Chains A and B, each alone.
Chain A
Amino acid sequence: MRNNPDQAILERAKRFEAQALEEIFDTFSPGIYRYAFRLLGDVDLARECMSETFSRFLVALKRDSGPDNYLQAYLYRIAHNWITDYYRSKVPPSMPLDVNLRSEPADEPHQVVVDKTERQQLREALALLTPDQRQVITLKYLEDWENETIAQTLNKPVGAVKALQHRALEALRRIMSRHEDINL
């Protein structure tokens, strides 16, 4: 888990040193991509989110409004904002079936479809949470971040982060149980 200050590399990035910028991309882009895919469930959207996150980071550096510290938290915040905008603008589309059939060829077709439906329902449930709730539980349970780092990312106290987790999981439990009722 990277939560140490990144002042040195950020100083170089602010001078647009190519090596520093490349290092930042190489270090953080895989995580940003994973984070985006888990929330969006689509490789093209995840790629677009990753690309736009780093583009906005550069623009912020140019405007001198970029981060002075906690680079990872900053980048995830940009990605999160992008995803929030996406959720606001439209309901996440259903993934084509063949995406999952391709990725898990060894599984039984029926099980593949069930798993895919569950994942899709879970993403739709996540989309119904507030942006902060969504980000907190994604960072906590999918990205395995500590509460302190999540608190830095959200600019909130650790207690507020825990409260958000609690409320988010409660909300998810309610939404998912409705899905189960429908599926039965």
Chain B
Amino acid sequence: MTKSDGELDEYGKRLLVSLQSVPPIDPQVAAAVKSKYLLQAENLRKELIPESGEVNTQQDHHRLRALRGKQPSFLFRVLVATILVVLFLAGSSFTVNAAQSSLPGQPLYTLKSWSEDIRLSITFSTKAKLNLTLDYTNRRVDEISRLVASGKAINEQTSERFQSELENALQLAAKLNDPQMQNALGKIKGRAESQGMTISELITKLPPQAEPAIIHLQERLDEQIMLSTIGEKDPKSFRAEIHERQHTRKGPKNMPTSEESQAAPESLSTTPSPEQEDNGKNYPTEVPGHGGSGNGQGQSTPGNGNPKPKPTDTQTP
């Protein structure tokens, strides 16, 4: 470096020193941004699966075509039989893969539900089950987003499955020891916050008559955040509450949810249930920037929901 370079650098540093200090980012905000990013990554990853399946099937067709026209022999027949078995298995696997992007109401959706249930049932560790369940909740939010985007109603099946998965996540967390449980609850809370943001954005896109169903889900997510927060601070009360909820769930099927909240331990009785909030007021979530410039699930293309910069040719490097 020459002397003039050194002087230049000194001047530059002196000039810009006042911009050095940066307030630390709020950990909750950072966690929300991270959750949104991971959720988008998960959605994009799922979109990649069927595409790679199609490529494999095309390659298989080419190989089969190449085999045609040759003299049949015992070896050839064995080969064909083997290929057919492989194709059958690959086809089944492809069908299951293809089902992963199906939506409620579509023929393959039942297969998707089954494959999820089977995968969960063959997962033995509580932590792995919990991670899988949280991934499934992301899938439900994704399905709801896609249903809304295509102008379809959110059916009861999806809503119930989503709520059941949220509940299962809490039940699984309650089975862990205290430090693990608190860690898991942090994760559950992060997911619920991120999903809540997505749902909030969806509400703004829905016609008024369609809102109650989705508002109910948003309230359930608020409840999830609140229960997780309580569990992080007071594991004992959390376990008591979860035990009570589990007990209530096993009771009569049509028991109103308000009874569940009445059965909550005294320490948690301030936790509003969706039914208790029937006056239309949503109790606040802890999500900073809630309803702000988030871009929605898997739809974070530049400019979407971002009123400030106008993305132009400089979107990506």
Contact = CB atoms under 8 A, between A and B. Distances in A.
**A complexed with B:** yes
Interface of A: 16, 18, 21-22, 25-26, 29-30, 33-34, 37-38, 43-48, 50-52, 54-56, 58-62, 65, 67, 74, 77-78, 81-82, 84-86, 88-90, 103, 115, 118-119, 122-123, 137-138, 140-142, 162, 165-166, 169, 172-173, 176
A55 B33 CA distance: 10
Interface in B38-77: 38, 40-42, 44-45, 47-48
Contacts, number: 147
Name the 4 nearest CB pairs between A and B, nearest first.
A16-B45, A55-B300, A81-B314, A85-B309
A169 B41 contact: no
A52 B314 CA distance: 13
B276 to A, nearest CB: 33
Interface residues of B, number: 47
Contacts of A81: 314-317
A37 B30 CA distance: 14
Contacts of B5: 162
A18 B38 contact: yes
Interface in B282-317: 289, 292-295, 300-302, 306, 308-312, 314-317
A16 B314 contact: no
Given A50-B33, A58-B44, A169 B295 contact: no
Contact of A142 (B16, B25, B300, B306): B16
Between B19, B30, B34, the greatest number of chain A beta carbons within 10 A of the residue's beta carbon is seen for B19
Contact of B309 (A54, A74, A86): A86
Interface of B: 5, 8-9, 11-13, 15-16, 18-20, 22-23, 25-26, 29-30, 33-34, 36-38, 40-42, 44-45, 47-48, 289, 292-295, 300-302, 306, 308-312, 314-317
Contact of B22 (A34, A52, A55, A89): A34
A158 to B, nearest CB: 12
A166 B12 CA distance: 9
A58 B314 contact: no
Contacts of B315: 56, 81
B20 A142 contact: yes
B274 to A, nearest CB: 29
Given A29-B34, A44-B289, A85-B314, A37 B15 contact: no
Nearest to B314: A81
B187 to A, nearest CB: 12
A137 B44 CA distance: 35
A55 B5 CA distance: 38
Contacts of B293: 48
A45 B308 contact: yes
Contact of B18 (A21, A34, A118, A165): A118
B38 A47 contact: no
A16 B48 contact: yes
Given A77-B317, A82-B309, A89-B308, A38 B37 contact: no
Given A18-B41, A141-B12, A173-B11, 11 more contacts: A22-B34, A29-B34, A30-B25, A51-B300, A54-B37, A56-B315, A60-B316, A77-B317, A137-B16, A138-B16, A162-B5
A85 B310 contact: yes
